[in-house]
Structure 1
């Protein structure tokens, strides 16, 4: 398998409401200053989990504090009431839901970005310091390709494979597409420790969270035979198990929160695959409790 960009096609992911960037000097508007910025995350959300893992790998607890939100949003529009003041301060009469993840600017009380890939890149580029980079020089195109593969060839395909309204032939065709992607990854990871380098990169964060979602969310809408075929990729799931044992990954894996978020949002029918767990994630992770969301008095 060559890690090369796959063909682009429209994504079903929600477009980010804000997409500012942290720059290196005052001309950017948001220049890099320790403790100026704050993350607002729900690790039950895949993008929130990705950022939380990257944040831990980069050891940014003091440099860029993180506030953790409930698994299930408390607003009827699926937004978080705790984030509403930030959204309204950032866009007058903002009409949409106050969604996580959010990178906010404590100096202005406004949102910098809600776009997870940009947030991860800016944290790494401007605050990673002397630690090994999650985006090593020369690896950007490979990481982009892994991100597209995860979004388009695994997550979206897995969701389509579990769509209740699709016919059997259509579901089987989509499942075969998913299995081809997993098979290519399985062959690529045979004999490898990490996805594209001899160190953890953003590609590993992206793929690991995608595999977590596949096993904890998407399999609930697949039949048992399909889940067993998905599980039949030993190198791929062995890779997922090894990363789960890493403190920066496993510490943020809250299976109960993921389940509650899924059942609160999902209106699909549960299939027999729900009972066929691919990995015993809890057996391979050591979680430490994360602090719940706390409002910050900036007076």
Structure 2
């Protein structure tokens, strides 16, 4: 857990670092490159929104290797557009004094080779608000309701699994565990009578929740000790997650997801053994 040591409070709680680069560039097709890890849920949401909004030709995509080393996220080969081997080089181009953890997703300016933004919550919103203002993923008439879901989902679910997994005290772990399953129970009850979180349509809130759900049984249940029950044991959430998988399950890379978590987090899994299961075919049955 060495990469996260600076994000642990005195009580043993995981406190995620703030995003350093928060510019909101104007749309310019071909200028920006989205750098992602297919293992990362924050980056995964950007991949999904980019795909759903038809931005694949406007914003190019670079995928880093799932195994992060001491220098951070690296490319399997020198990126042909940016000419860099590590994402850190684009961070250094933007701020040579930056000492925080290098994170994905990151939007990089292909002309300056500098990171423009690593503000993952805003990146996907800007894809809807600036690049595709006609998008139905974050429509104005539903925005307040979407935001009301996004906030607790971020704190208790998206970041909640990390708070449990990276806790260094029993108290911090149990608090994160309790908050996580309290929120999942609330969503489970909501989905008993709703197809989506907001209205009867897919929105930003669903995508943000889903990138955690799709990793839950494969990674978070065991690796992060969020093991009260599996996603497959929560019938409404499981049915909902499978419905969304049918829409953009082709963006999931199980190999990258499992190898990243189980090989990179040495303090949690010192053996580096990657579990064989669960069977990903369960998502299509």
Counterpart position of 2:82: none
Please state how far the C-alpha of 1:61 moved relative to its aligned partner. 0.8
Structure 1: state its 5+ residue gaps.
1-9, 23-30, 286-299
Counterpart position of 2:212: 210
Establish whether residue 219 from structure 1 lines up as the match of residue 221 from structure 2.
yes
Q: What CA RMSD, in Å, does the superposition of the two structures yield over aligned residues?
A: 3.0
Instruction: Find the aligned partners of 1:119 and 1:275 in 2 and give their Cα distance.
Output: 34
Please state how far the C-alpha of 1:143 moved relative to its aligned partner. 2.6
Please state how far the C-alpha of 1:99 moved relative to its aligned partner. 3.0
1:29-88 CA-to-partner distances (Å, cap 9, x unmatched) read xx2222222111111011111100111111111111111111112x41433343233222
Secondary structure of the corresponding residue to residue 133 of structure 1: coil
Establish whether residue 133 from structure 1 lines up as the match of residue 136 from structure 2.
yes
In structure 2, relative to structure 1, the CA distance for the partners of 1:237 and 1:106 (3 Å cut) is same
Counterpart position of 2:49: 54
Instruction: State TM-score, norm by structure 1.
Output: 0.74
Instruction: Find the aligned partners of 1:17 and 1:221 in 2 and give their Cα distance.
Output: 28
Structure 2: state its 5+ residue gaps.
1-12, 75-84
Instruction: Find the aligned partners of 1:116 and 1:155 in 2 and give their Cα distance.
Output: 12
In structure 2, which of residues 59, 62, 68 is the aligned counterpart of residue 67 of structure 1?
Answer: 62
Please state how far the C-alpha of 1:159 moved relative to its aligned partner. 4.4
Answer yes or no: is the 8 Å Cα contact 1:224–1:276 preserved in 2: no
| Structure 1 segment 10-25 matched on structure 2, within 5 A | 12-22=15-25
| Structure 1 segment 1-299 matched on structure 2, within 5 A | 12-22=15-25, 31-73=26-68, 75-80=69-74, 81-128=85-132, 130=134, 132-161=135-164, 167=170, 175-221=177-223, 226-228=228-230, 231-246=232-247, 249-266=248-265, 267-268=267-268, 277=278, 280-284=279-283
1:175-209 CA-to-partner distances (Å, cap 9, x unmatched) read 44433221210111123222103221111100101
In structure 2, relative to structure 1, the CA distance for the partners of 1:21 and 1:234 (3 Å cut) is same
Please state how far the C-alpha of 1:257 moved relative to its aligned partner. 0.7
Instruction: Find the aligned partners of 1:232 and 1:194 in 2 and give their Cα distance.
Output: 19
Instruction: Find the aligned partners of 1:55 and 1:224 in 2 and give their Cα distance.
Output: 30
